[in-house]
Amino acid sequence: MEQETLFTSSKWDILKCLEAGKKSPLDLAKETNTSVANISQQLRLLELAGFVKSERISNRDKGLPRILYSVTENHSYIVASTPGFVEKRFLKLMDY
């Protein structure tokens, strides 16, 4: 998947919401003012790209979440441009 398609406003909004901690698709839908179906689709793409991870929780109560999502590892998307040079790169950041 191209990185540019990962950085649509809806996916960016989801990542911004998840920076505070684990959330369910319902929580994300409320915070971003969109449908749970849309959030679920965006989360699947973000998970395939390695930006978010899902965690199943044992909850059988109706109306309560069964899956929580959170941000995975540290990443950076860098765009550099000067006359004669334009480059974009997606990097996984490492601890030193």
The pLDDT tens digits of the residues spanning 21-31 come to: 999 999 999 99
Predicted local distance difference test score (pLDDT) of residue 80: 84
List Cα–Cα distances, 24 to 19, 64, 71, 80, 87, in angstroms.
Answer: 13, 9, 12, 35, 36
Average pLDDT, the chain: 83
Tens-place pLDDT, residues 55-90: 988 766 666 668 899 988 777 777 788 889 888 776
pTM assigned to the model: 0.72
